[in-house]
């Protein structure tokens, strides 16, 4: 009896097992049928979904569905084309391989959720502006698609440029984006090689959610580290730049704060190196690329330079215009001059004050021909590095005061000079006006030009001295012979006014007496011409 009872019990349990198994099979079967009916990873559905995201078409060379260990699909040699792109324009993007993975439980419980997308060999091309390609419009703004993680390591972003300029290529070594959806902020981390200037960037941050009604209000924030940026990619300068910055705001108004360090900054024309570091706060409009420099605090060796300005487009003008206002208060002129000098040591030492407004319009010409500027400058307590030049200044001061010069035992005490003036730069030539050079006993007032393209200088003016013209030779037979000329150079009540010139090149200048006549009227006309041609109003009160 016990044995029969045991058999009946086992049979009873077995029937429940069979029933449960049958029910499970039915449930799984029903779920499988539902899954097949709602299976999101068919080739047609994936092509439509991906095509909608770029307002274009998507084609696959190979496509297969995966079921284990994760449901999803794999596509190879994927090509994205925009509907609005001309036929001769390369595709917007190509991908060697896309792998899309999710979990079976997510297919039932988390509709529209994809656990992971892996992109291998992603290559994105952005056409230059003006090629007829319209921006991408996000038409599917109500999508419920969510992605846990997207990995796109080894990607390339190519940005086209107008004219004959080669495209800029950004090599993206590592890129991970998490929590991708239309309603939440997505988080990213990226490591890439910058295109221009070439260097390595590491950045992390968040982006979104996307504001489809007003994309400029889409929020973003993060940090970026820029290392080993080679500035020689830009014409005329060289050095290795490092930068640390953080940013936050919206696409239309990104506030960026950071610092830049260039230990060996130089102008390639002179090859002298100087340490340059700065801290900055700028506003960037990512919708049009405009940059507004709210505060730049730079240190060139031991000279502080304060700047603000913008790099922005103008209505009806292609490209962007750079406008910068610079100021130096009680800086060292040697720190600035050394960058422009071909000699190892700067030509002059002294305390400098400087104000300038610089404009670089997008004319497509070499930098020195494009840049326009007007500036006021002043140097106090100036001395000259080259002994022969300083000795000439000492001699000028002694002669202007009528001191007899002992050539065998020249004065060991160097006189200090004061330099002041106004300059307008355009088309590679600096036009100087109201320039004064003052040493004890002498006051020179000159105007002229300095050609930055070939270093030629051409200055004319008047030298006022404390003593008469004949006394500038310090007495002796030469002074006697020059006495008849004193009335021609007489200055009331005492002293002399002597027309002088300075011509030659920056490194080899020649000084002399200008016997061709009075240049005041010519200088006045030149000054009026500079006022009318200057990019800014020069009729304001002088700074100094």
DSSP letter assigned to residue 542: P
Share of the chain above pLDDT 70, in %: 77
User: CA-CA-CA-CA torsion for 240, 245, 249, 251, nearest 10 degrees?
Assistant: 20
Share of the chain above pLDDT 90, in %: 32
Check: CB of residue 543 under 8 Å from CB of residue 352: no
DSSP letter assigned to residue 284: E
Check: CB of residue 230 under 8 Å from CB of residue 193: no
pLDDT of residue 486: 47
pLDDT of residue 515: 65
- pLDDT at residue 528 greater than cutoff 70: no
* Higher-confidence position of 213 and 163: 213
Q: ω into residue 515 within 30 of 0, thus cis?
A: no
Least confident of 137-146, 230-239, 416-425: 137-146
Look at residues 305, 308, 300 and name the one whose alpha carbon lies nearest to residue 282.
308
Mean pLDDT in residue range 40-65: 82
pLDDT of residue 526: 45
Among 145-154, 207-216, 504-513, name the most confident range.
145-154
Cα–Cα dist 427/470, whole Å:
42
Token readout for 310 is: 């913008």
Please give the mean pLDDT across all residues of the chain.
78
Cα–Cα dist 446/352, whole Å:
19
Confidence of residue 34 (pLDDT cuts 50, 70, 90): very low
Look at residues 255, 259, 264, 373 and name the one whose alpha carbon lies nearest to residue 322.
373
Contacts of 88 (CB under 8 A, 6+ apart): none
Q: Read off the pLDDT of residues 450-483 as tens digits, 9 standing for 90 and up.
A: 888 888 889 999 888 877 755 565 554 444 444 4
* Higher-confidence position of 114 and 470: 114
Q: How far apart are the first and last CA of the chain?
A: 122
Q: Read off the pLDDT of residues 323-336 as tens digits, 9 standing for 90 and up.
A: 999 999 999 999 98
pLDDT of residue 419: 92
Token readout for 223 is: 């940090």
Cα–Cα dist 288/353, whole Å:
36
Q: Read off the pLDDT of residues 249-289 as tens digits, 9 standing for 90 and up.
A: 998 899 999 999 999 998 887 778 899 999 999 998 887 78
pTM: 0.76
Cα–Cα dist 261/240, whole Å:
8
Q: Read off the pLDDT of residues 310-327 as tens digits, 9 standing for 90 and up.
A: 988 887 777 788 899 999
């Amino acid at each position: 009896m016990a044995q029969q009872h045991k058999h009946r019990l086992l049979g009873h349990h077995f029937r429940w097992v069979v029933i449960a198994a049958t029910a499970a099979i039915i449930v799984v079967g029903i779920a499988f049928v539902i899954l097949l009916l709602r299976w999101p990873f068919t080739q047609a559905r994936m092509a439509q979904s991906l095509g909608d995201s770029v307002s274009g078409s998507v084609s696959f060379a190979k496509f297969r569905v995966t079921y284990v260990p994760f449901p999803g699909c794999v596509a190879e040699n994927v090509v994205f084309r925009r509907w609005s792109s001309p036929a001769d324009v390369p595709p917007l993007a190509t991908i060697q391989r896309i792998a899309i993975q999710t979990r079976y439980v997510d297919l039932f419980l988390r509709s529209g959720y994809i656990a992971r997308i892996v992109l291998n060999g992603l290559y994105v091309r952005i056409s230059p502006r003006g090629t007829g390609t319209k921006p991408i419009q996000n038409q599917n703004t109500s999508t419920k698609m969510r992605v846990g993680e997207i990995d796109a390591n080894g990607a390339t972003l190519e940005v086209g440029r107008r004219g004959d300029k080669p495209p800029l290529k950004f090599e993206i070594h590592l890129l991970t984006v998490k929590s991708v959806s239309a309603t939440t902020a997505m988080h990213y981390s990226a490591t890439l090689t910058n295109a221009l200037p070439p260097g390595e960037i590491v950045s992390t941050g968040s982006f979104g959610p996307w504001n489809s009604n007003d994309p400029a209000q889409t929020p973003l924030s993060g940090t970026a580290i820029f290392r080993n940026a080679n500035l020689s990619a830009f014409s005329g300068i060289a050095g290795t730049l490092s930068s640390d910055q953080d940013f936050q705001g919206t696409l239309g108004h990104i506030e960026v704060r950071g610092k830049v360090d260039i230990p060996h900054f130089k102008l390639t024309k002179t090859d002298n190196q100087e340490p340059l570091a700065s801290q900055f706060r700028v506003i960037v409009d990512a919708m049009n690329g405009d940059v507004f420099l709210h505060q730049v605090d730079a240190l060139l060796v031991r000279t502080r330079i304060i700047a603000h300005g913008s790099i922005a487009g103008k209505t009806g003008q292609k490209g962007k215009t750079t406008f910068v206002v610079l100021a130096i208060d009680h800086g060292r002129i040697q720190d600035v001059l050394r960058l422009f000098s071909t000699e190892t040591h700067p030509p002059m030492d002294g305390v400098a004050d400087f104000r300038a407004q610089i404009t670089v319009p997008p004319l497509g010409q070499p930098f020195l021909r494009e840049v326009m500027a007007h500036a006021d400058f002043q140097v106090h307590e100036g001395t000259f590095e080259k002994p022969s030049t300083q000795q000439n200044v000492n001699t000028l001061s002694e002669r202007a005061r009528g001191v007899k010069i002992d050539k065998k035992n020249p004065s060991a005490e160097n006189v200090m000079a004061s330099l002041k003036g106004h300059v307008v730069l355009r088309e590679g030539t600096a036009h100087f006006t109201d320039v004064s050079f003052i040493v004890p006993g002498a006051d020179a007032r000159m105007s002229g030009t300095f050609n930055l393209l070939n270093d030629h200088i051409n200055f004319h003016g008047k030298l006022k001295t404390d003593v008469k013209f004949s006394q500038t030779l310090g007495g002796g037979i030469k002074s006697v012979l020059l006495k008849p000329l004193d009335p021609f150079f007489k200055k009331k009540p005492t002293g002399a006014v002597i027309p002088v010139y300075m011509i030659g090149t920056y490194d080899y200048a020649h000084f002399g007496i200008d016997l061709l006549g009075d240049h005041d009227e010519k200088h006045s006309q030149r000054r009026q011409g500079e006022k009318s041609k200057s990019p800014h109003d020069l009729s304001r009160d002088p700074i100094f």
